Amino acid sequence: MIELFPSEAPHGKFNLIAYDKDRILELWFSPKVFNARVVEFAATGPNGTVVATEKADGSFTFKGKGSKNDFIWLAQLKAAQAQRAAEQFGSEVSKVGLTESEWLRLVATK
């Protein structure tokens, strides 16, 4: 799960738009690893499936496992937007920083 910031934070810019009932939400997606959270959802459906609960206002929520938090389904991204976000996040995750001694680097190339 990637945290989405309201457009007021951190810098007033936005790169995603979602509709929440009668208002438009301008959101900022930042593909940084430190913004990511791993959330395990509670299996509330048959056969251990995760099923959303529809609230009286028409919104859908998911229960976090072992958490008091409910997660609200805001929107479905278009395929191209989801692919772009996944690529940006994957690029951030795959960065590796190593400190190797020069002699170890030279030996490894032989």
Each residue's pLDDT tens digit, 55-66? 998 888 888 888
Predicted pLDDT at 6: 65
Residue position matching structure tokens 């395929």:
79
Q: Which residue has the higher pLDDT, 43 or 102?
A: 43
Query: pLDDT class for 49, splitting at 50, 70, 90?
Result: very high
Distance CA 46, CA 12 (A): 43
Question: Strand, helix or coil at 82?
Answer: helix
Q: What is the pTM of this model?
A: 0.62
pLDDT tens by residue, 1-25: 556 666 665 566 888 888 777 888 8
Domain ranges of the chain: 4-108
